Amino acid sequence: MVLVAPSWAPGLALVLYIFATVILGCAWYVLRPSLRISPIPKEGAALITSGIYRFMRHPMYVGVLLFGFGLLVTNINWPSIITWIALLITLIYKARFEDGLLAIKHDSAAGYQSKTVGLMGKKQR
């Protein structure tokens, strides 16, 4: 079953694509030396707390979710909705796993995590 997207959906999708691309670009620029797909921290890499990472701990995941949501609002159907929700759940768990690994590897990670919002807008306790 395909649900009909509202007339404003393409405009919203474009805004989401742009916002997501800016977030992803800023995160990539700051994270370049340590960048990897795996949540396991790169050996010898410093804890990144500058640039966009001053404001959020997982901007790459936020960018992916926003871009995916942009795709969803222009292609509303149950498989797309379920896929986006699965992506959200996966990235929430991946972010929590990554936060735990960073706290083990870097002494300053706990302080950073308590001051900076995570994937779901919450600060680490």
Q: Encoding tokens for residue 67?
A: 């871009």
Query: Residue 123: what pLDDT?
Result: 62
Query: Residue 92 pLDDT more than 80?
Result: yes
Average pLDDT over residues 74-100: 95
Query: Residue 1: what pLDDT?
Result: 61
Indicate the pLDDT class of residue 5, thresholds 50, 70 and 90. confident
Residue 119 burial (CB count, 10 A)? 22
Indicate the pLDDT class of residue 3, thresholds 50, 70 and 90. confident
Distance CA 85, CA 124 (A): 22
Distance CA 115, CA 87 (A): 26
Distance CA 69, CA 90 (A): 15
Of residues 59 and 120, more confidence is placed in: 59
Query: Residue 35: what pLDDT?
Result: 87
Indicate the pLDDT class of residue 70, thresholds 50, 70 and 90. very high
Query: Residue 39: what pLDDT?
Result: 87
